[in-house]
Structure 1
Amino acid sequence: MNTVEMLRLFEEVAEQYVKALDGYSVEQFTKKPAADEWSLGQLYNHLIQSAIYMQIQAIEQCASGNGVVDGDKTENGVMIIGAGKFPPISIKVPDSPQYTPANPESIGEVKPKLLQLINQVRELEPTLAAISPDQKMPHPALGYMNAVEWYQLIFMHFVHHLRQKEKLDAFVQA
């Protein structure tokens, strides 16, 4: 899949997230199914923060020539990036201040960040062709990936969380 197609697919899925924002009350958006589960707001914050502070930062490191040349993907990384999607499983990590996203106080604080992220992803696409595929940055589970693979991961991550969003949508509508 080329980067133009990745962008198109990302825009489609991101638009689903944007449109859904208009259908939630603040209470629905911040309500958690259980103490150890995320609210819709936390899910949105996770997607935004992961894209900005992990995926886009990795792309920028590759672009600046500060990546690693000798890294490889893990077996899972080869499989997942090759398939262009995560397996349909829930991935649960322990709560921690570094990983657990904050519950937003309002939808109004999330929507502009999401729209800004979408623009950032659009602006990145035409720069990717100039980034050496030899420049890679490590992902904690997938191994070393180049800028295009990190870009693909943004879309894949949004799609991966659609199942979680659907469950949360059902929970807040019940």
Structure 2
Amino acid sequence: MSSVNENLAETRNHLVDEIKSFTNEEFNYKPGKDQWSVAEVCHHLVLLEGRTAKLIHHLVTNPEMNKAESKPIHLATDRSTKFNAPEIVQPSGEPFEVQQMLEMLNDARNKLLKILDSLEDQSVLAERSAVHPVFGEMPLTQWIELIYLHEQRHIEQIKEIKQFVNRH
């Protein structure tokens, strides 16, 4: 689990480096009608991490065991395939301040880590599974890995949006 924690931290640091220098106006700039602003991308990440933390907490405290095979989640970083975010993790569309979002990202991560740290036995994460909207039934260990893989995907999206912001 330590390499997963390192990947979570490293990817989050990379994300923070990408967004911390934006002005609030740049942060909320939408490059196109049907495209997300950097603020919306980050809000999506906050919502997703919060939902994942709740899911993990629910499943590890539930006595039913439901084990699944590993899925090819590394495909999450392939931006040539577009996915529509489930409604529950779509950004609200409201404007955010950069500092406010940094705090939201930090809070979401702290909640996830608190749940993971509270587990007496981390192996329960490999024993429990849930249905993912893209990959289907997969173990909770992969849900956690998917947080940083998904974040890496969106860091690339943020870099693309940045190019539009700089031309704006």
TM-score normalised by L of structure 2: 0.82
C-alpha spacing 1:92/1:36, structure 2 compared with 1 (3 Å)? farther
Superposition map of 1:1-174 within 5 A:
3-53=1-51, 55-65=52-62, 69=66, 72=68, 78-80=71-73, 83=74, 86-93=77-84, 98-103=88-93, 104-126=95-117, 127=119, 129-131=122-124, 133-174=126-167
Q: Show structure 2 runs of 5+ residues with no match.
A: none
How far apart are 1:117 and its partner, in Å? Answer: 2.2
Structure 1 pair 105/84, CA: closer, same or farther in 2 (3 Å)?
closer
TM-score by length of 1: 0.80
5+ residue gaps, structure 1, are: none
Task: Say if 1:36 and 1:88 are closer, same or farther in 2 by CA, change over 3 A.
Answer: closer
Structure 1, residues 40-69: CA drift from partner, whole Å, max 9, x if none?
Answer: 00000001101112x212211221126662
Report SS of the residue matched to 1:141. Answer: coil
- Secondary structure of the corresponding residue to residue 24 of structure 1: coil
CA RMSD of aligned residues (A): 2.5
CA distance in 1, matches of 2:124, 2:105: 25
Aligned residue pairs: how many? 164
Counterpart Cα distance in 1 of 2:60 and 2:113: 16
CA contact (8 A) 1:4 1:125 kept: no
CA distance in 2, matches of 1:97, 1:119: 24
Counterpart code for 2:31: P
- How far apart are the structure 2 equivalents of 1:67 and 1:27? 48
Rounded Cα–Cα distance in structure 2 between residues aligned with 1:35 and 1:125 = 38
Q: Aligned to 1:105, what secondary structure does the other structure show?
A: coil
Equivalent AA in structure 2 for residue 110 of structure 1: M
